Amino acid sequence: MAGGAFSSTRRRVSRTVPAGARRGRVLLPSLILVATLASAPFGGLRATEAQPPAALKAGEVIATGPFDVTLGKVVTLDELSVNDLALSPASPGGRLMAIELTVTNTTDEPLSPLRITDAIGGPRAAVEPWPGQDEPHGELVAVADGTRVRTVNPGLSVQAVLVYPQPASWTADRIDLDVYDFRFQEEDPLSLDPDTWLLHSVVASGEFPIKESA
């Protein structure tokens, strides 16, 4: 899957340098909620992998480049309402799908939640866009306080749930999930922007049961 998570477009991810990398241009707890042609993070085209991805299992740490991620369980919810945050299904009969995860920023700069959502992929049919949007986009919600994750500072970890609207047409009780890695590029030959993380390829893939929330 070579696109944004559960989407059909590839995103060039912004400029967080690896810890210790040199900048410069180069030529060339109360809230455990819980979510051929192959597809990219929830929908785009996946390039052929150089080697088969590792088996993705709950509780295992996967290194992506700018961060490490550990997936937990996947659950469906009728809605999510915590403090000032309220998320509802996008269409009649739909649900919310929430993927538990823990993320640790391994760079020396703040980590954007967009980069995290780009790294998690699956079948496009499992999700749908939020109202008013053209492509599916996950909302990253912190377990600690039920707020949207705005950034993850260097060296720190966050427990969160990645929430997507799920259409009524998705009735499976299991889902195949992928984790993508990134490649650091000091100069993007297309944009000439320095210090860019590019979404690269699937490094781990596995099947997860989808549980009904209590």
Q: Classify residue 35: in a domain, yes or no.
A: yes
Residue 67's pLDDT is: 98
Q: Is 96 exposed, middle or buried (0-12, 13-18, 19+ CB in 10 A)?
A: buried
Residue 15's pLDDT is: 46
Residue 17's pLDDT is: 53
Q: Classify residue 26: in a domain, yes or no.
A: no
- The partner residues of 99 in beta bridges, in order of sequence, read 74, 162
CA 167 – CA 182 distance, rounded (Å):
29
Q: Classify residue 4: in a domain, yes or no.
A: no
Q: Classify residue 5: in a domain, yes or no.
A: no
Per-position b or e across 140-169, b if 16+ CB within 10 A of its CB: bbbbeebeebeebeeeeebbbbbbbbbbee
Residue 195's pLDDT is: 76
Residue 171's pLDDT is: 95
Q: Classify residue 100: in a domain, yes or no.
A: yes
Q: Tell me the pTM.
A: 0.80
Nearest to 167 by CA among 97, 98, 79: 97
Domain count, the chain: 1
Domain span including residue 52 = 12-20+31-212
3-state class (DSSP) for residue 115: helix
Q: Classify residue 7: in a domain, yes or no.
A: no
Q: Classify residue 6: in a domain, yes or no.
A: no
By the 8 A CB rule, do 183 and 200 touch?
A: yes
Judged by phi (left if over 0) then psi (alpha if -120 to 50, else beta), residue 43 lies in left
Residue 49's pLDDT is: 54
What count of other Cβ atoms lies within 10 Å of the Cβ of residue 18?
16
pLDDT means per 10 residues, the chain with 214 residues, are: 49 50 32 36 58 95 98 98 96 98 97 96 97 96 97 98 98 97 80 78 98 86
The C-alpha angle with vertex 3 and arms to 202 and 16, in degrees rounded to 5, equals: 80
CA 70 – CA 61 distance, rounded (Å):
5
What count of other Cβ atoms lies within 10 Å of the Cβ of residue 57?
13
Cα dihedral 79, 129, 147, 107 in deg (nearest 10) = 140
Q: Classify residue 175: in a domain, yes or no.
A: yes
